[in-house]
Every structure is written in C-alpha cells, then in structure tokens.
Amino acid sequence: MAASMCDVFSFCVGVAGRARVAVEVRFVSSAKGKGLFATQPIQKGETIFIERPLVAAQFLWNALYRYRACDHCLRALEKAEENAQRLTGKPGQVLPHPELCTVRKDLHQNCPHCQVTYCSTECLLAAAEQYHRVLCPGPSQDDPLHPLNKLQEAWRSVHYPPETASIMLMARMVATVKQAKDKDRWIRLFSQFCNKTANEEEEIVHKLLGDKFKGQLELLRRLFTEALYEEALSQWFTPDGFRSLFALVGTNGQGIGTSSLSQWVHACDALELKPQDREQLDAFIDQLYKDIETATGEFLNCEGSGLFVLQSCCNHSCVPNAETSFPENNFLLHVTALEDIKPGEEICISYLDCCQRERSRHSRHKILRENYLFVCSCPKCLAEADEPNMTSEEEDDEEDEEGEPEDAELGDEMTDV
C-alpha cells in the first residue's frame, strides 16, 4: 500500500515555511518508475525543498575512527580547530578566526543509559522518541557480546571503507517500527522506496559485500534477527525479505557528509577582508588542506547515509538541473536548482560526481550499471549514442599505447550519491 503524499511531505522541512515545496511525484515509466516534477517556476539557485530523512545513521568505520557526530542528525561535534588538529595529525594546529566555528559544545547531551552523544536536547529526545529506546544498549555499550555489537562487528568485517551503507540504517528502520504506535504508517513509508528483481538485488548485495556475499548475508541476517526481530516485520527477517531490505538500503541510501572545518572555511570565505588579509587567509586554508591530504587522505567528513522520500524520487541525469547538499552541517538535505526549471519539468540530480560526468558515455553507463542497475537515457547520453563503446581510459590507452587494469576507471566512484 502506498503512503499518502501527506505522509511524505510531513518529513519535508519545506512545508514549515523554510523553503516552498513546488514539486509533485508522478509515475514516469516502468523503466524509470517515479519522478519528481516542478509545479511552479523555479529559479536558478533557488532551494527547491529541504528534507529530513526517515532514518539516518553514521557509517560504522567512520565512527570507529573518531569522526564524532551527533548520533541522530550527524552534526559534526568537534570544534573546527579540534577537527583540523585530528585531520592534520598536528595537536598544536591553530585556526584564525575561531569565533567563526558554529559548534556549541555547551548544548551537547549524552544518553543517560548508553552515553552516546547528541548535539542537543532536541536530538536526544527525537532519537528516544523514534528508535533509540529499542536500540539503546545501556551499560552494555562496550560489551562485545551484546547482540547489536556483534551485528556491528560482523558488518565492519565485510564492508570496509570507503563505506556506502550501514547495517545500522536497517536497524533504525526496524526500531522505528517497533516503537511506533502506528506501525502500518511507517511500513507504508519505507515501502515507497524502489524495489528490484531478485537478480538485481543479488547484484547490489554482491557489490556491497564482495564475492562471498551469500554466506556473509546469511550471517548478518541471523545476527540481525537475534538482535531485532519484530513480528510486524517478519517478512524482513526471511532470507528473501532481508535481501530485499539490504538492496533497498544499498540502492536508496543517500550519502550524508558533515564537517565543522568545512563550515568554518565557508564562513571564512564570506568575511570581508583587505586584499592582503584575504590572500594570507586563502594561502593558510590551501596549506591546511594539503596537510590534511598528506595525513588523512580523502576521508575528511563525518559520513553516513539516510533514506529521503522526496530525494529518492529524483531520477538521474548526466546534465542535472538540480543538486543535493547538506549546508546546515546535519542531515537536512537541500535540493537546489542549477538552472531555471519550468512547471511540469522533471527535477533531476546526478548520481555521478563532476569528474565522472565528463567521462565518455560508455564510462558513465558502466558506473551507473554497476552501482544503480540502470542504463541512462538522458539528453547527453542520447546525443552521444553514436560514440564508440569504450571507456574514457580505453580512449586514453589508444592514444598512449599503454594498458590499464580493466576497472581502473572505477577508482573514484561515488556510490553514496
């Protein structure tokens, strides 16, 4: 049974007046499923809508490596200077303009039972109200034999960085239903996300867990059942149902990234400074990021994923007219217009990053097939339909007469959208 649009829009912050929701969900085709369409003129640069997820969770390796985030909204908890010190490996690193850091440690709260940290009392209460009463391990937070800890350790043993999903997103889905007074409403909301065939689901699981995915999936299902079984969701705990749940999260999970340092940098960019002071500050920030790259590599943010009902209705285009971002340093997703959008026009985002969108049509299709199981037919792909079926790297090989591994072009895949 489909959830009503009232159910859907109740999770979109835009209906509260912070951004108008000038969109509607329509059926597009059997191949594409649903799509999101403008109902009013939308100007370039306008925030189309702001949405909070049904559920969200930080990636487990990300949390283990001390990327400290609010356990509910994923807001970064470190001060910008602390963040810079950890990422550069320099305990004495000092940032200019410390007043620009927005982190309020005086507002942070811990669960009184398990001590997980929240950015505010509001998040502590929201988590307790929705799912945390079921998931709170109490004094067993660090007990390796606690069922949830066994489940998380098993997940970390089969899904290594760069992470694209978390078993705890699925756990919070179950816990939400277990705690809900209206269980059917939440089941309907979760059923909104796209479904795949059995073979497609196996491909997604294979992508997440590797070649031994069948045995690993069964181990995770057993541990998941021991920790969380719920009669109202009994289908989710069967082998077929668990595979479907796994595929739902793997396909629809939207990556979330937060960073107190990034917020500080944006605030620095907005400062009105004398030319010489601006040059010095920009040089400092450039060097800071070079030091971070040397010490930490590409893992800069608190990272996780969430399930967003409206965002999940946005289809992909290699020439998108909208983009997603998290400018509030938490799990609130902003969808912003990249160009003017007319009423009745479909709102499309890109599942590829900027570099991937500049690759050959064949390279783009390969990434999309492997991660999202569809063939793109956007205007750019149709215009390039007569191009040779070779990846961008293969084209370079012909020019350089040098070989590369077959999957070399996948080194910078962005699978959490």
pLDDT digits (tens, 9 = 90+) for 260-276: 999 999 999 999 999 99
3-state secondary structure of 334: strand
Average pLDDT on 361-370 reads 90
Average pLDDT on 236-249 reads 92
Give 199's pLDDT tier (boundaries 50, 70, 90).
confident
What are the domain boundaries of the chain?
Answer: 16-53+320-384, 55-255
Instruction: Assess if CATH 2.60.120.10 describes domain 16-53+320-384.
Output: no
The pLDDT value given to residue 396: 53
Task: Assess whether the previous peptide bond of 275 is cis (omega < 30° from 0).
Answer: no
pLDDT over threshold 70, residue 163: yes
CA-CA distance, 252 to 315, in Å (whole number)?
Answer: 11
Is 352:318 a contact under the CB 8 Å cutoff?
A: yes
Torsion of the alpha carbons at 298, 304, 310 and 313, rounded to the nearest 10:
60
pLDDT over threshold 60, residue 194: yes
pLDDT over threshold 80, residue 341: yes
> In Å, what is the CA distance from 284 to each residue of 124, 265, 277, 329?
37, 11, 11, 23
Is 164:415 a contact under the CB 8 Å cutoff?
A: yes
Residue 12 DSSP class:
B
The pLDDT value given to residue 391: 57
**CA pseudo-torsion sign 333, 339, 340, 343:** negative
What percent of the chain shows pLDDT beyond 90? 71
Is 380:319 a contact under the CB 8 Å cutoff?
A: yes
- Which tens digit of pLDDT belongs to each residue from 207-234? 777 777 888 999 999 999 999 999 999 9
CA-CA distance, 203 to 250, in Å (whole number)?
Answer: 10
The pLDDT value given to residue 251: 85
